[in-house]
């Protein structure tokens, strides 16, 4: 059950449409919310809670549309950074999960750098780790592996969670696809569009009841390409 993602092009344009639509809807909704807040202060109406929770739900959805669309609109410049160092930063945000989830990190070389928009990629890593945590119902393990093969950096995130059906796998990355009661279905759409923009690819393997592995591959940053695991190749060494 391996699925490479080839819908990335499509997702980028969805992102741009999403941004336009999100702005169009967010502004009037925010205005309506403000007026309703004024009304609430003067009148006793038993459905206020419902009105506000529905409005907030709509605003959350719109916020996630903007998050998906950001890759194409944000003007962050690419920099060279280590993917696994960034992943470590992200993992520190999941400290509160360590009582039930064991995070196993496997990497021996943190020095290899990729080139890309660091904040976007960080957000994508966050979304992947969050999904992995949410897939684990009680206790479990998340394995994080990082290594370099030639001019490619490979990072995999494997969780021992609920896994996915064939049908879910085939719908991954489609905006609004979610199987969670409180889900937005925007996390992976953001991940896929960011990876696409940063010249990375993603593969998913999943087995219902066993768990899921997301493998992402980035090209090594151009200035690190002539290095082999931190050691300069003979051809680049000035022989005396």
Comparing every residue's Cβ against ligand ADP, the nearest one is 187
Q: Report, in Å, the least distance between residue 72 CB and ligand ADP.
A: 18
215 binds ligand ADP (CB under 6 A): no
Looking at the Cβ atoms of 116 and 185, the one nearer to ligand ADP is 185
160 binds ligand ADP (CB under 6 A): no
Looking at the Cβ atoms of 116 and 187, the one nearer to ligand ADP is 187
132 binds ligand ADP (CB under 6 A): yes
Q: Report, in Å, the least distance between residue 221 CB and ligand ADP.
A: 28
Footprint of Mg ion (CB under 5 A): 131, 187
Looking at the Cβ atoms of 178 and 201, the one nearer to ligand ADP is 178
Residue 22's binding partner, choosing from Mg ion, ligand ADP, none, with beta-carbon cut-off 5 to 8 A by kind? Answer: none
Looking at the Cβ atoms of 113 and 161, the one nearer to ligand ADP is 161
Q: Which of 69, 72, 123, 131: binder of ligand ADP (CB under 6 A)?
A: 131
Query: How many other C-beta atoms lie within 10 A of the C-beta of residue 199?
Result: 13
- Binding-residue pattern over the window 164 to 193 for ligand ADP, x denoting contact by CB under 6 A: x---x---x----xxxx--xxxxxxx----
Alpha-carbon dihedral sign for residues 200, 14, 168, 188: positive
Q: Report, in Å, the least distance between residue 229 CB and ligand ADP.
A: 30
Closest to 190 measured CA to CA, from 113, 95, 92, 122: 122
State the residues that interact with ligand ADP by CB under 6 A: 127, 131-132, 135, 159, 161-164, 168, 172, 177-180, 183-189, 212
């Amino acid at each position: 059950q391996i699925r490479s993602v080839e819908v990335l092009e499509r997702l980028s344009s969805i992102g741009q449409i999403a941004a336009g639509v999100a702005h169009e809807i967010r502004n009037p909704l925010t205005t309506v919310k403000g007026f309703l807040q004024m009304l609430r202060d003067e009148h006793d109406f038993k459905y206020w809670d419902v009105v506000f929770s529905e409005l907030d739900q709509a605003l959350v959805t719109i916020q996630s549309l903007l998050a998906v669309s950001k890759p194409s609109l944000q003007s962050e410049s690419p920099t060279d950074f280590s993917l696994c160092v960034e992943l470590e930063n992200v993992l520190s945000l999941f400290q509160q999960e360590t009582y039930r989830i064991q995070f196993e990190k496997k990497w021996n070389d943190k020095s290899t750098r990729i080139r890309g928009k660091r904040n976007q990629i960080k957000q994508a890593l966050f979304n992947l780790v969050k999904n992995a945590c949410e897939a684990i119902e009680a206790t479990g393990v998340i394995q994080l592996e990082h290594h370099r093969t030639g001019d490619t950096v490979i990072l995999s995130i494997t969780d021992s969670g609920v896994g996915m059906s064939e049908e879910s796998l085939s719908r991954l990355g489609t905006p609004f696809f979610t199987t969670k009661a409180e889900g937005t279905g925007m996390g992976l759409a953001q991940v896929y569009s960011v990876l696409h923009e940063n010249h990375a690819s993603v593969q998913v393997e999943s087995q219902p009841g066993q768990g899921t592995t997301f493998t992402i591959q980035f090209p090594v940053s151009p200035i690190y390409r002539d290095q082999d695991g931190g050691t300069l190749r003979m051809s680049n060494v000035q022989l005396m």
